[in-house]
Structures are given as structure tokens and as C-alpha cells.
Amino acid sequence: MNAFRKAGLLIIVLVVPVLVFLFLKLFGTNHFDLPYYFPLTDPRTGEVSKAGEDTLYYRVSNFTLQTVDGQAIDEKSLNGKVIVAHTTSGCDEGTCQKVLAQVQRVSTLASTIDNLRVLTILPAEVDSSTQQIMTGYKAQGWLVQNEDEMSAERIFKLNESPSTNQTIPLTSRLVLIDPQGYIRGYYDALNPEDVDRLMVEIKILDYGSSLPK
């Protein structure tokens, strides 16, 4: 009798988790799906563009920028990378220090996520205090650009709000771009919980990019 009980318990232990997994896979909702931003629209009708049933979204593409070190940044060099972009434009020294401290925290993920890149966009005219701050914070996988910052902000959709509910100021706004160039999230660098969420979602994108297509 004890043998039957043990066998029954073993079956429950082994089979039930599989059944739960299959149920969630087939009928559940994936709460780790990140949203896409900026659907493309037909310039004539204003209707959302689609490929079959799938909505088409804006992609970061067709651009060439240069870092303060003279390194070229373009679609090819960032293809397949998870990107976190932000700008220091209009940022006072105190806010800059707080934002860059959080961005540095995000950049530490590069030690385990090889395809992570952090992009800081500086104003064309950088004051000495900001330069000094950047010298202390720059780390692995951290790119700094200050040539034509308005174009860079436009390319990475930093100066656009995805919805009327967007209340994050530009000076602390972080944008997450997936390896395919799609905008996947906005975060407030002055909100530690938002930064924690960003770090989790970077890991989700990295894991998703490692799965077979």
C-alpha cells in the first residue's frame, strides 16, 4: 500500500507542474510581454499601418552618430543590442548626478549581458561640471554622444511622449530599445522602483533574444 501511495505522490509531483505549465502556455497571459510604442500610420489616411493582422511600429534605424571618443554609432553597430538611452539636455548638476548614478547602476548589467549598451546624449556645448561627472561615471558598454543632440533625441524618441499619460521629464527620462530597434519602455531615473523595473525588463529582452526563433 505504501508503495502505491509513494507512486501516486511521485506522479502528482512530476505530472501536475507539467499540466500547470501547459495550461499557462496555452491559455494563460504572458505578463512579461513588453509593450511596443509608436505605431506607424499611413500619412494619407492617418490609419495605423499593418502587415496582415500585425501592427507595424517605429524602429530606430538609418542613422549615423559619433561618440565623444570618435567611435561611430549606427544601425549596424547597435543591431542586436539592448539599448538604454537618455539625454542630459537641460539637466542641472544635482539632477545629472542623480540620473547618472542610476544609469551607472543599470550599466552594471553589462558585466553579464554582453549586448547591453547605455547611450548618454550630451548637449553640443557641455559645461565643465557635466564633463567631470561623466568622467567619473562612464563604464563598460557606456557610449557618450554630443554631436547634434536634437537629432539623437529624435532618433531614439527621447523627446516624444508615447501617450498623454507620459509625465516623465526629459531630464530624467530613460528609453529602452530592444535588439530589433523597437521602443519597449520609458522609465524615470529619479524613481528607484522604475529603474529596478528597467533592469528586470532588460533581462527579459536579453533572455528573449537568446531563444530560438
Region 4-30: mean pLDDT is 49
pLDDT above 70 covers a percentage of the chain that reads 73
Query: Residues 6 or more apart from 3 whose CB is under 8 A from it?
Result: none
Q: How many CB atoms lie within 10 A of CB 87?
A: 27
What is the spatial distance between Cα 178 and Cα 81, in angstroms, rounded to a whole number? 7
Q: Is residue 89's pLDDT more than 90? A: no
Region 100-121: mean pLDDT is 92
- Tell me the per-residue pLDDT of 36-62, one tens digit each, with 9 for 90 and over: 999 998 888 889 998 888 899 999 988
What is the spatial distance between Cα 69 and Cα 184, in angstroms, rounded to a whole number? 28
pLDDT in the model for residue 200: 96
The single-letter code of the amino acid at 193 is: E
Place of cell 516623465: 168
- Tell me the per-residue pLDDT of 123-154, one tens digit each, with 9 for 90 and over: 766 666 666 666 666 656 677 776 666 778 88
Single out the residue of 161, 165, 187 nearest to residue 85, CA to CA.
187
Q: Is residue 31's pLDDT more than 50? A: no
Q: Is residue 86's pLDDT more than 70? A: yes
CATH 3.40.30.10 is held by the domain 59-210: yes
Region 2-16: mean pLDDT is 54
The torsion region of residue 75 among left (phi > 0), alpha (psi -120 to 50) and beta comes to alpha
